[in-house]
Chains A and B, each alone.
Chain A
């Protein structure tokens, strides 16, 4: 435990949310709990963090949270990004027009009309194990503005002890560090036709990193709802460990 100064207490206060979510490492948790004992103010923060989590979930369950207004902020932000992008584009076009033309074959080649390419090369989506309430899709893409690649990062790996058990503490007092399955893969299934449209290569989970599946050209998918199924594979069986919904719109 560091010295009991105000700055250290503020550092710990920043950890409150992770503590309540159970995301602190052993050493972080031990230090945080020592601070909890020393500081009733920190205990109040933890109490309020729990109330906040519980209250938001309860308000959402009751349909009291208007999520459309939060979307408007995203739209507003997108507008800002769009205006900035337009300015950059105008400047770039202006520069191309005023810059001297070169008849060098390589330059000419670079000015040849490019093939149609998506506006965004890649988009990464982290899919939390705790999904939003209300039945909304986890990812929504329009075909017109779909990225060239959609990288899915689901939180789907459960850690166990080496013997596969899920005790609080593993034999010897260690933490759970072994992924439940040695390999994982993701499927995209068209809901309407109940047909598999894409399957990722299998990948081995790596400690400290999330699974990552890259779906190329999601804009090529037909409009509709798709299930993203994350499957864990063992030698003798397999299991769907997470399911998310992808919506493609026109």
Chain B
């Protein structure tokens, strides 16, 4: 299942802003993956339960949409992102207040949480991911692209320096990264589909669950 394009989501949100309740439920489904992404990939992802906070964020967004205090769909996106981020920041502060007494302990805590993040995939998944990436690097069309990825991701070499040394424009550099991500998705979907599809399936399921909750709460039936 492919994600709806941006302009389609914008149309849905525009309709929701006019008070259309059906559009509102479609808006919740459409915004959910993005809000979840902000929470899963944002600065505080180690300290938050992304699923819980997505629910909370969408609830606040819906209330704001119904209050008609926002008139532009683009402001709804920005508001949802800012709300998710603030909720995540508050959750992270709460965790750190509970767990941290002095600076050195904070450092330990950070290290511990980073370690937890590193092990969020099972050994088998990690191995499959490494195999997929090794396959990706093998089948890159030019050795230069391979070198670019290795030096950028592994050595941490600066983009400007790589462009200079490999004779690439910044746009070309970005295109190589975009193609690599796209190709990796294809390889993962073929070799270890659960690594790519699980979040999508889960996302759709949870979006439906959220919509169901809202409908039952506000209209008394599904």
Residues of A that sit less than 8 Å from B by CB: 1, 3-4, 9, 13-14, 16-17, 19-20, 22, 30-31, 33-62, 64-65, 67, 69-70, 72-74, 76-77, 126, 128-133, 165-166, 168-169
Query: CA separation between A52 and B7, bound complex, in Å?
Result: 28
Contact B181 A45, beta carbon cutoff 8 Å: yes
Interface assignment of B222: CB less than 8 Å from any CB of chain A: no
A30: chain B residues at CB < 8 Å are: 78, 81-82, 85
Contact A33 B129, beta carbon cutoff 8 Å: no
Query: CA separation between A236 and B83, bound complex, in Å?
Result: 42
Contact A45 B4, beta carbon cutoff 8 Å: no
Contact A38 B77, beta carbon cutoff 8 Å: yes
| Contact residue among B134, B151, B153 (Cβ-Cβ distance under 8 Å from A64) | B134
Within 8 A of A (CB), among B6-57: 6-7, 9-10, 30-31, 33-38, 41-44
Contact A133 B154, beta carbon cutoff 8 Å: yes
Contact B137 A4, beta carbon cutoff 8 Å: no
| Contact residue among B77, B106, B161, B181 (Cβ-Cβ distance under 8 Å from A48) | B181
Smallest beta-carbon distance B161→chain A, Å: 6
Residues of B that sit less than 8 Å from A by CB: 3-7, 9-10, 30-31, 33-38, 41-44, 74-75, 77-78, 80-82, 84-85, 89, 92-93, 103, 106, 121, 126-127, 129-134, 136-137, 143-144, 146-147, 149-158, 161, 165-167, 171, 174, 177-178, 180-182, 184-185, 188, 195-196, 199
* Identity of the chain A residue whose Cβ is nearest the Cβ of B200 in the assembled complex: A44
B131: chain A residues at CB < 8 Å are: 59, 64
A65: chain B residues at CB < 8 Å are: 134, 137, 150, 154
Query: CA separation between A57 and B103, bound complex, in Å?
Result: 29
| Contact residue among B80, B121, B146, B199 (Cβ-Cβ distance under 8 Å from A54) | B121
Contact B81 A37, beta carbon cutoff 8 Å: yes
| Contact residue among A3, A19, A74, A76 (Cβ-Cβ distance under 8 Å from B41) | A19
Contact B153 A33, beta carbon cutoff 8 Å: no
A64: chain B residues at CB < 8 Å are: 130-131, 134
Query: CA separation between A133 and B151, bound complex, in Å?
Result: 11
Query: CA separation between A77 and B7, bound complex, in Å?
Result: 44
Tell me whether chain A's interface is mostly helix, strand or loop, or mixed: helix
Query: CA separation between A204 and B191, bound complex, in Å?
Result: 51
Query: CA separation between A202 and B15, bound complex, in Å?
Result: 61
Given contacts A52-B184, A65-B137, A126-B157, contact A45 B78 (CB under 8 A): no
Smallest beta-carbon distance B203→chain A, Å: 8
Contact A51 B10, beta carbon cutoff 8 Å: no
In addition to A57-B154, A65-B150, 8 A-B residue pairs with Cβ atoms within 8 Å of each other are A13-B174, A30-B85, A33-B38, A40-B37, A45-B181, A62-B130, A128-B157, A131-B156
Contact B151 A36, beta carbon cutoff 8 Å: no
Given contacts A74-B147, A130-B156, contact A45 B41 (CB under 8 A): no
Contact B77 A37, beta carbon cutoff 8 Å: yes
Query: CA separation between A168 and B199, bound complex, in Å?
Result: 28
Contact B6 A4, beta carbon cutoff 8 Å: yes
A45: chain B residues at CB < 8 Å are: 178, 181
Could you pull out 23 A-B pairs where Cβ atoms are within 8 angstroms?
A3-B74, A14-B171, A14-B174, A16-B177, A17-B177, A30-B78, A37-B78, A37-B84, A38-B6, A40-B3, A48-B185, A51-B132, A54-B121, A56-B150, A59-B131, A60-B154, A62-B127, A65-B150, A65-B154, A67-B150, A69-B143, A168-B89, A168-B93
Smallest beta-carbon distance B34→chain A, Å: 4
Query: CA separation between A1 and B146, bound complex, in Å?
Result: 34
* Identity of the chain A residue whose Cβ is nearest the Cβ of B9 in the assembled complex: A38
- When A and B form their complex, which 10 residue pairs have the shortest distance between CB atoms, in order from nearest? A128-B156, A55-B133, A40-B3, A43-B37, A37-B34, A33-B81, A58-B130, A48-B181, A130-B156, A59-B130
